[in-house]
Amino acid sequence: MSDHDTPTVPVWTLSTSDATGIPAVPEGDALTPERLTELRTALATFSSVPMVTLEAHPLPKRRDRSAGLRLDAVSPLAQELSRLVAANAKNVPAVAHVAESSEVLYRMVVPAKVAAQVGRGLVKPMASKAVAGGVYDNLVDAATNVTVAKATLVPVERAAAGAASTGAAGTAVGTVAAGGAMTVAAPLVLMAIAVGASAYADQQRQKAIEHIAELLEKLHDDRLEQERNELDGCRDAIDKATALLLDRGKVGASLGLDSAVHAISTATQNAERRVKKWEAALGQIVDNRVEVSDLEAGFPGVSEDGGEFRTHVELAALAIALKRRVVVLQGVEAGQNDPDNPFEHFVRSLKADQQRIDELEARISGVLVRLSALELRSPKRLIDKVMTRRQVDGLLETSYRLRALGDGVSTAAESADVVIEIEKHRDGTLLVLPARAS
């Protein structure tokens, strides 16, 4: 594809406040994706306030839309995006084209430094099986097979930098921070990150529910079935609270969120209690070698296909996913209660609870990794005897299951940028896809 055929798309640099000392976007007609990445890293490094970039691309026809949160055309996020485009439509041709288009893909990139402030567990990369150490990046699957990574990016703020402007966090989008080529858009940044993180957490919830359903079909455990139902029953209250908060409403007791939070807290306590027992059981294993019978004593059903231990792990994953959604809701509410500095309150509210969730998730991952590295030994009573073919096969199958536990552990994206994609459709509605690691 020649440079002449490369599409041109606008890119905004958004700040959550008009703090001084922000470096300006360099002069020039356009930016390459590589140059934009360098610029974004530099801005995040030198700026004392959170900054993100927002690109506006043509909406691809072929995309996976099975996940994500939908917002209507009059939602605050849709209105913020419309005002951002309208503010520059007259003086930037690329923005004018976006304003005329009925379908747009907005792509917000949150630098790793800013993502770390929001929470280490915001997103995790999905490990690639094709390339060792690689991760998937589903940026665009366009009908023309032209990826937006080849687009030429036009910095919008450079054209608008001469406009008179003042601003503070919480001001309407479209204003330009004094002394720098930045657009102050704290509400837009707050809502986009909140919805993207919430969509990601809900995606993880759905995966956990599917896994638990498969396991319970084999296990037939009414107690664990009830535990699953109590957790999944929290979804309605969380969905209603999410929609209300993102419409700038107030969450009341009638939504049932209090009871949902209690059920989720109980489930996370169950997970902490279980992981403590697992860690104690692992601590008793000598030289990383163990018999299957001893392993089963500390991890019931670990040697079976769909045992109790695996169900407990998935229930913990479900509780963590739901807890992450609740924490994001609480962060949004705290931010919106103080419109003068919403992002700062948002981050502050997220950090403490996120840290506890991250620690619990890391402990569970540590247990799974340690289990996957164990060496199974033959029972002591068979040391001087020849094992039967069935006994050998059983030992091998259990060994394979243990190795698979480690394969399912993904590493936290501590140093990765976070991508949040927002689709605008013909009717004005938005689909915010789950946040993902870049």
- pLDDT band at 119; cut points 50, 70, 90: low
Query: Which of 24-33, 179-188, 252-261, 373-382 is predicted least confidently?
Result: 24-33
pLDDT above 70 covers what percent of the chain?
75
pLDDT at site 37: 78
pTM of the model: 0.80
308-336 and 222-232 helices, crossing angle to 10°? 20
Q: pLDDT tens across 324-356, in order?
A: 988 888 888 877 777 777 788 888 877 777 888
Q: What is the mean pLDDT of residues 391-411?
A: 78
Which sign does the torsion angle of CA 7, 37, 422, 94 carry? negative
Average model confidence (pLDDT) across the chain: 77
**Residue 275: alpha-carbon gap to chain centroid:** 24
Q: What is the mean pLDDT of residues 46-68?
A: 80
- Cα→Cα distances 167→64, 157, 402, Å: 38, 15, 56
pLDDT at site 147: 44
Query: Which of 1-15, 265-279, 318-332 is predicted least confidently?
Result: 1-15
Q: What is the mean pLDDT of residues 244-250?
A: 75
Residue 292 clears pLDDT 80, i.e. is over it:
yes
Q: What's the rounded Cα separation, in Å, for the pair 104 and 20?
A: 32
pLDDT above 90 covers what percent of the chain?
21
- pLDDT band at 25; cut points 50, 70, 90: low
Query: Which of 162-166, 231-235, 328-332, 425-429 is predicted least confidently?
Result: 162-166
Q: What is the mean pLDDT of residues 260-278?
A: 94
Q: pLDDT tens across 363-388, in order?
A: 999 999 999 988 888 776 655 566 67
pLDDT at site 406: 81
Residue 10 clears pLDDT 70, i.e. is over it:
yes
Q: pLDDT tens across 172-205, in order?
A: 333 333 233 567 778 888 889 889 989 999 998 9
- pLDDT band at 107; cut points 50, 70, 90: very high
- pLDDT band at 227; cut points 50, 70, 90: very high
Query: Hey, what are 103's tokens?
Result: 């379908």
Residue 389 clears pLDDT 70, i.e. is over it:
yes
Paired with 376 in beta bridges are 290
Q: pLDDT tens across 61-78, in order?
A: 777 777 889 998 888 899
**Amino acid symbol at 39:** L
Instruction: Please list, in sequence order, all residues whose beta carbon lies within 8 angstroms of the beta carbon of residue 226, skipping any fewer than 6 positions away.
Output: none
| 378-415 core/surface letters (b: 16 or more CB in 10 A; e: else) | eeeeeeeeeeeeeeeeebeebbebbeebeeebeebbee
Residue 315 clears pLDDT 90, i.e. is over it:
yes
Secondary structure of the chain in HEC code, one letter for each residue: CCHHHCCEEEEEEEECCCCCCCCCCCCCCCECHHHHHHHHHHHHHHCCCCEEEEEEEECCCCCCCCCCEEECCCCHHHHHHHHHHHHHCCCCHHHHHHHHCCCEEEEEEECHHHHHHHCCCCCCCCECCCCCCCECCCCCCCCCCCCHHHCEEEEHHHHHCCCCCCCCCCCCCCCECCCCCCEECHHHHHHHHHHHHHHHHHHHHHHHHHHHHHHHHHHCCHHHHHHHHHHHCCHHHHHHHHHHHHCCCCCCHHHCHHHHHHHHHHHHHHHHHHHHHHHHHHHCCCCCEECHHHHHHHCCCCCCCCCHHHHHHHHHHHHHHHHHHHHHHHHHHHHHCCCCCHHHHHHHHHHHHHHHHHHHHHHHHHHHHHHHCCEECCCHHHCCCCCCHHHHHHHHHHHHHHHHHHHCCCCCCCCCCEEEEEEECCCCCEEECCCEEC
Name the more confident of 221 and 276: 276
